[in-house]
Amino acid sequence: MAQRTPRPKTVYRRWIAEIEAPLHALVRSELQLGSTTAARNLIKGGSVRVSDEQVKIPSTIVKVGQEISAPESKEDRKLERADAPKSIRPADDLPFEILYEDHDLLCYLKPAGWVAASPNPRVDTSFTRVKEFLIARDLEQGNPERPVHFVNLLDKDSSGIAVVVRDIALRRRLQEKWGEFRFESYLLLKGEMPEDGEFSARRKPGEKYSAKKFPFRKMRSGGRFTILRVQAGLQDIPDILPGLRHHNCMVCGLGQEAPDPLGRQGVHLFRAVMTDETLDAMWEVKTRMPKEFLRVVK
C-alpha cells in the first residue's frame, strides 16, 4: 500500500504591529488580502496568533509592538482552515453582520423579517442566534461561559442596529438612559419632502406644545418615493408621524394604508451613540443605507 505523502509544514509570516488597530485590518494589510471578509474568515478559522496566542475575534485591538503571525501562502491558509476544529455554532452560521464588538457589548445588524427577541423559547429570534453564537465561542476558546442580554428591541418588519451586552448591570444602565442617547434612522416615504427641516414631537395630553424636535435631511428622491435621514430612534417614530402627515407623506409599510413596495417597513436604525459612565465608555455604531430603499427610489 502506498504511503500517504506527509503534509508540508505550514510556513508562517511574523510581523510586529506598528500601529494600534483591529486585528482584521492588520492581517488584511500585511497579507494583501482582497477584502476584510477574507481577513475575518482567516482569523475566525483559528489561523492567526497575537503574541503566540490564538485569537479568533477579528475586532481584537492589537497594540503597538505586539507580534502577529499568520500562514504565509494561500495554500497554507486553505489547509489551516480545513484542519481547524469545527465550532459548536460556526461563525459563518451567524446570519447577521456584526457591526461592533468589545468585551462588554456587541452590536449586530438585525434584518427586517426577524423577530428581535421573544419570551417563547421555541421562536427562532435574532437574539437567540446571537446568544448561541457567543456562548459557543466562549466554550470554543476555553473561556468561562458568560451570560448574554439584549438591550433594545426592533420591530419584526424594521431593520437596524441591535445591541446585546454580557453584563446584566450594564443592560440596566443602558436601558435606563436609552431615551437620552443619540439615534438616527433612514425612513422610506411615499411622497415628496422639503430638502431639509424638522419634525415637532407629538404633544402629550395636557401639553400646549412639545419642545422636542427631530431634524431631518432629504437623502434621495425618485418622484414618488423619498428617503429621509432623521435624528430619531425607532422609539421616536410615533412622535414624528403627525409631521409626516402634514406633508402628505407616509412611512412605507407602516400602517394598513401605507404603501408597501418592500414587503417590510421603511424604517432602518442606522446610527446609535451610547455612553456609560460606570465604564467611562462611548460607543458609536453605524450601518449603510439599505439597498432595498435605494432600489425603490431609482
- Between 137 and 51, where is the model more confident? 51
Q: Which has the closest alpha carbon to 162: 263, 266, 233?
A: 233
Q: Are residues 184 and 248 in the same domain?
A: yes
Element (DSSP H or E) covering residue 164: strand 159-165
Q: Are residues 127 and 184 in the same domain?
A: no
pLDDT in tens, 131-182: 989 988 888 778 888 899 999 999 999 999 999 999 999 999 999 999 999 9
The arithmetic mean of pLDDT across residues 197-212, rounded, is 72
The arithmetic mean of pLDDT across residues 287-296, rounded, is 92
| pLDDT of 76 | 63
**Residue 111 maps to a domain:** yes
Average pLDDT over the chain, rounded to whole?
85
What is the CATH classification number for the domain harbouring 145?
3.30.2350.10
Inter-axis angle of helices 74-83 and 36-44, nearest 10: 40
> pLDDT grade, residue 260 (50/70/90)?
confident
> pLDDT grade, residue 25 (50/70/90)?
confident
Q: At residue 88, does pLDDT exceed 60?
A: no
**CA gap 287, 162 in Å, rounded:** 11
Q: At residue 53, does pLDDT exceed 80?
A: yes
**CA gap 104, 97 in Å, rounded:** 18
Q: Are residues 191 and 254 in the same domain?
A: yes
The arithmetic mean of pLDDT across residues 88-98, rounded, is 65
> pLDDT grade, residue 2 (50/70/90)?
very low
**Residue 279 maps to a domain:** yes
How many independent structural domains does the chain possess? 3
What percent of the chain stands above pLDDT 90? 49
| pLDDT of 209 | 60
Q: At residue 63, does pLDDT exceed 60?
A: yes
Q: At residue 86, does pLDDT exceed 80?
A: no
The arithmetic mean of pLDDT across residues 201-224, rounded, is 78
Of the three residues 59, 83, 107, the one that is the final residue of a domain is 83
Q: Are residues 214 and 232 in the same domain?
A: yes
Q: Are 145 and 139 in contact (CB under 8 A)?
A: yes
**Residue 293 maps to a domain:** yes
Cell matching residue 15: 510581523
**CA gap 60, 203 in Å, rounded:** 46
What is the CATH classification number for the domain harbouring 61?
3.10.290.10
| pLDDT of 79 | 53
With 0-12 / 13-18 / 19 or more C-beta atoms within 10 angstroms meaning exposed / middle / buried, residue 166 is: middle
Would the pTM count as exceeding 0.85? no
Q: Are residues 42 and 23 in the same domain?
A: yes
| pLDDT of 8 | 56
Q: 147 is in which domain, residue-wise?
A: 91-176
Give me the sign of the Cα torsion angle 106, 90, 115, 149.
negative
**Residue 139 maps to a domain:** yes
pLDDT in tens, 229-255: 999 999 999 989 988 988 889 999 988
**Residue 125 maps to a domain:** yes
Q: Are residues 208 and 280 in the same domain?
A: yes
Q: Are residues 202 and 274 in the same domain?
A: yes
Q: Which has the closest alpha carbon to 104: 287, 276, 285, 284?
A: 276
| pLDDT of 143 | 80
Q: At residue 198, does pLDDT exceed 80?
A: yes
